[in-house]
Structure 1
């Protein structure tokens, strides 16, 4: 059983099961706000308007991020209609692409077994699998950055013929351009920083002669520049906001209120690497060791990739969990190398930690009801308990089997058992989240909103002191913001007529429409309703929960 990596039938079976399970789970949950609802709604509006240049959210100009994800989601809606799995298809495909490309790069650069292990490791890393199922920008940019990393490794290996080196380096440049279209300047800044640090650490100055910089830059600008030129011509305010505010000011200033402890990304790296935590440190250390007489040191390149990205975002004043995601293909390659060359004791440690994690999940299950922070949501966490219980059992059993096979020196089987446990456990926890996802998205309000006429484009729908990122997508329409700014501040400065700035100003509109027999609907913060009733504002509550209330003026 130590030659499983040579078994083509097994490899194809694992791949097919992985693809089916990954893609099937894309539609298992309601779109969870804020990110999933936001990016699905932006794509819906692009699809509905036909404007593929100016990105909008709730009909308001929204330039925080480039358009690649919005383009792909809008194209998916064009091909397959609106829905949850359609909104997540791009991220799911990027996650799958990353796994396949990492495995291929591992095989070409390090050998067949390492390639097999690399695909198993990345395809079971908790954070990679989870983010593959979430409609956010992080997996999209990570998939494109994986192309940049893996293409660079394949192109620069010592035995690469000139034509292959050129073609893969052009693929690397394309990956950087697509990364910039996915999330901005980090698409070229981070790979560039990695290359500089690697050059110094490896003293490999000649690598700069093998980058095909002229052709690469031409391809980079052909792919990455047109949208920035077009959107800037159409919206002159966009370049300063995007490049200065969203990049330099976000990195240097604290005004976005996204600070976190300096160690947060190290903790996320550890947690996201489950079930491979037991060999994480050893794998990183292996990346710093010598690699024989090789001119190009691929393990060191993977290590530098991980270190530069982690340290870059650690220094930033804006820290969000998804920022760490692009490191995991590099982590997978390093872990795969260590699993191939490391000790039986380290594999046993990894298996034991996985089993202990399963026990921890089982112990957590009875206390999960305490996680409910809003009234009436205890039952939702009770419905989630069986899924977490199942995930805990999978991790416990998988870890125990891996421990047994590790003791018997069945290396390939140990790695396979851990990979299956990691992937299955993550999918169970994601799939069972649906009741909580519905509560956060507010989709239980949809029948009441439909009866109130909110689905009719002629009905005015106001969002008072709140903006429901996911619910707006399910309404299949935009709403009028009232006393709400947040991420819309810049867009509303350009188009102030698209919102009502204060609640008193909205009340005047609401009262006038009620007097004229015009039916209005509002989604409002629950704590505001009593004050409106006390002030004699005409309203009737048609639905509500602990997070939002739906009222009408008739």
Structure 2
């Protein structure tokens, strides 16, 4: 019989392997889906195709909403692995694995290996972590860089002065800043650290630490930002092109300061992030009522680990809550550090009946929901048909989706009956493992053709024939990405009327072989509606094919002013 320590070691290896496999599940089996994935892949593909990597493009226009660092990563991934279906997800996958390791190592250094294991399992079990790890958005990479910066700062501030860790922290914060503008947020940890040192004045029990040489942060931070700002600055000095100057102004000022202080979209109330934490941080958020008083007691004991971890999380929450523009991913960087702060308390909490019943209830609700929805899909109920019809998906998906959901629900229900509330911690970890395998192997590949718009663009290609020319008006990034041929487009952010000013003459030059794919609400009054073809819906938008012969070139009408959209999702 193997001893208990060997069994625990084997369990740890199995759980680690299960986590990695769950994050890998389905990679390469789907295409980029809105809202953000197609635009990043479109820019990365343009870099690979053109060989010009400094400035990202969305079609013919410069893409100035985000710096290009994440797109560089996707383009580099493509050069290594080939095939965009695999390459576009690799940066998020690697960032997720890095974040898990950093969370483990930080908790190990602050407490011990047992606590480190709890921290990793807590982070993996939270819904938002798995969801972002399996999406090709900047935020997972940003969280990896933020966690790396916090790892270096916490080592330097709490363990012992460590110049190497400080350099790593500063460079990671700088690189995070040019990946997504808020990458500097780890530096805010210096505020709770200074307050903690002030509260600890006169105490000499080894917890206060020495005053480290923090000035090394500045050159390290600047070095991290120079990865992109240096080549951009050189380009601005050497090239007086007003387009390049406008790109720099848009990105460095409007998309950073203005976007934060005077947001023009995603406007939400101040309490918005409370509902984000209550839902996307499940099942961990169920334990917050028990964690908060325990954390407060440790803060009153002046435990520096909690002062830095929790103080920084509160500052990040306040920072994003102060801005009128809010998205659920903005507070995601808090999650790994809060899991590290929760980890020492989890064994004690899970010995209590109340928290265990809450976690069991979470799993049971998830299992029942999967069973009910899967049963409805398999039975072909009116509700199931209506859901697919709303999204113009074929009924052939009913048994496929229903089978996956029903199987997930049965497995989850069986685990809940076997482990019950006495092993609720293990139950939620196994639930996360099953959930992300379901997501990766089952749901996303089944829905891929419709969520990625590839089914729509395939219909377009079949309808116009292989020899026709295609143009886009009021398009979305996935339309250009999934097109089966070279496409003429007339700007993405330009008002629709201005796009038609170029698209109309383009059609008139060869009306027999040229077609436009147009958002239904953006069809020009100069188009004979009777001759257009409704080609279907995708991502909640209806699309129309306009043959060249349907456009009246002698027409001078314009779209209503309230319909002159800029093409933004």
Matches within 5 A, 1:427-446: 427-429=437-439, 431-446=442-457
Which string of whole-angstrom CA distances, capped at 9 and with x for unpartnered residues, describes residues 336-356 of structure 1? 222133342223432333323
In 1, distance between residues paired with 2:465 and 2:247?
Answer: 32
Selected match of 1:503 from 500, 503, 522: 500
Task: Tell me the CA shift for residue 76 of structure 1.
Answer: 0.8
CA contact (8 A) 2:359 2:425 kept: no
Aligned pair in 2 of structure 1 residues 401, 263: CA closer, same or farther (>3 Å)? farther
Aligned pair in 2 of structure 1 residues 331, 129: CA closer, same or farther (>3 Å)? same
In 2, distance between residues paired with 1:155 and 1:88?
Answer: 33
Aligned pair in 2 of structure 1 residues 332, 529: CA closer, same or farther (>3 Å)? same
Match of 1:47 in 2: 48
Selected match of 1:299 from 302, 306, 317: 306
Tell whether 2:443 aligns with 1:420: no
CA contact (8 A) 2:168 2:220 kept: no
Task: Tell me the CA shift for residue 449 of structure 1.
Answer: 4.7
In 1, distance between residues paired with 2:321 and 2:396?
Answer: 35
Matches within 5 A, 1:410-489: 414-429=424-439, 431-450=442-461, 460-467=469-476, 469-475=477-483, 479-482=487-490, 485=492, 488=493
Which string of whole-angstrom CA distances, capped at 9 and with x for unpartnered residues, describes residues 518-541 of structure 1? x324222245669666378xx774
In 1, distance between residues paired with 2:249 and 2:507?
Answer: 37
Aligned pair in 2 of structure 1 residues 360, 545: CA closer, same or farther (>3 Å)? closer
Which string of whole-angstrom CA distances, capped at 9 and with x for unpartnered residues, describes residues 158-216 of structure 1? xx354xx33222222122122112202x111x223333145336636898965543333
Tell whether 2:95 aligns with 1:94: yes
Range 324-333 or range 541-550, more displaced: 541-550
Match of 1:145 in 2: 146
Task: Tell me the CA shift for residue 136 of structure 1.
Answer: 0.8
Match of 1:409 in 2: none
In 1, distance between residues paired with 2:487 and 2:6?
Answer: 54
In 2, distance between residues paired with 1:2 and 1:415?
Answer: 23
Aligned pair in 2 of structure 1 residues 277, 131: CA closer, same or farther (>3 Å)? same
Selected match of 2:183 from 181, 187, 201: 187
Aligned pair in 2 of structure 1 residues 68, 171: CA closer, same or farther (>3 Å)? same
CA contact (8 A) 1:173 1:217 kept: yes
Selected match of 1:287 from 295, 308, 312: 295
Task: Tell me the CA shift for residue 111 of structure 1.
Answer: 1.2
1:63 match: secondary structure: coil
Tell whether 2:282 aligns with 1:274: yes
Selected match of 1:341 from 340, 348, 352: 348
Task: Tell me the CA shift for residue 73 of structure 1.
Answer: 0.2
Task: Tell me the CA shift for residue 50 of structure 1.
Answer: 1.4
CA contact (8 A) 2:453 2:482 kept: no
Task: Tell me the CA shift for residue 218 of structure 1.
Answer: 1.4
Range 61-70 or range 525-534, more displaced: 525-534
1:258 match: secondary structure: coil
Match of 1:496 in 2: none
CA RMSD of aligned residues (A): 3.4
CA contact (8 A) 1:23 1:89 kept: no
In 2, distance between residues paired with 1:542 and 1:368?
Answer: 24
In 2, distance between residues paired with 1:311 and 1:401?
Answer: 42
Tell whether 2:532 aligns with 1:522: no
Matches within 5 A, 1:246-261: 246-255=255-264, 257-261=265-269
Task: Tell me the CA shift for residue 47 of structure 1.
Answer: 1.3
TM-score, normalised relative to structure 2: 0.81
Matches within 5 A, 1:236-251: 236-251=245-260
In 2, distance between residues paired with 1:528 and 1:441?
Answer: 21
Matches within 5 A, 1:40-439: 40-157=41-158, 160-162=159-161, 165-184=162-181, 186-188=182-184, 190-200=185-195, 203=198, 210-232=211-233, 233-234=235-236, 235-255=244-264, 257-290=265-298, 297-342=304-349, 343-345=351-353, 346-365=355-374, 366=376, 371=387, 374=390, 376-377=392-393, 379=395, 382=398, 383-406=400-423, 414-429=424-439, 431-439=442-450
Match of 2:560 in 1: none
In 1, distance between residues paired with 2:4 and 2:325?
Answer: 46
CA contact (8 A) 2:473 2:489 kept: yes
CA contact (8 A) 2:176 2:183 kept: yes
Which string of whole-angstrom CA distances, capped at 9 and with x for unpartnered residues, describes residues 330-371 of structure 1? 221133222133342223432333323333444455456555
Aligned pair in 2 of structure 1 residues 33, 281: CA closer, same or farther (>3 Å)? same
Matches within 5 A, 1:26-37: 26-37=27-38
In 1, distance between residues paired with 2:5 and 2:287?
Answer: 21
In 2, distance between residues paired with 1:107 and 1:474?
Answer: 46
Structure 2: runs of 5 or more not aligned: 202-207, 237-243, 377-382, 550-569
CA contact (8 A) 1:362 1:392 kept: yes
Range 36-45 or range 276-285, more displaced: 276-285
CA contact (8 A) 2:458 2:484 kept: no
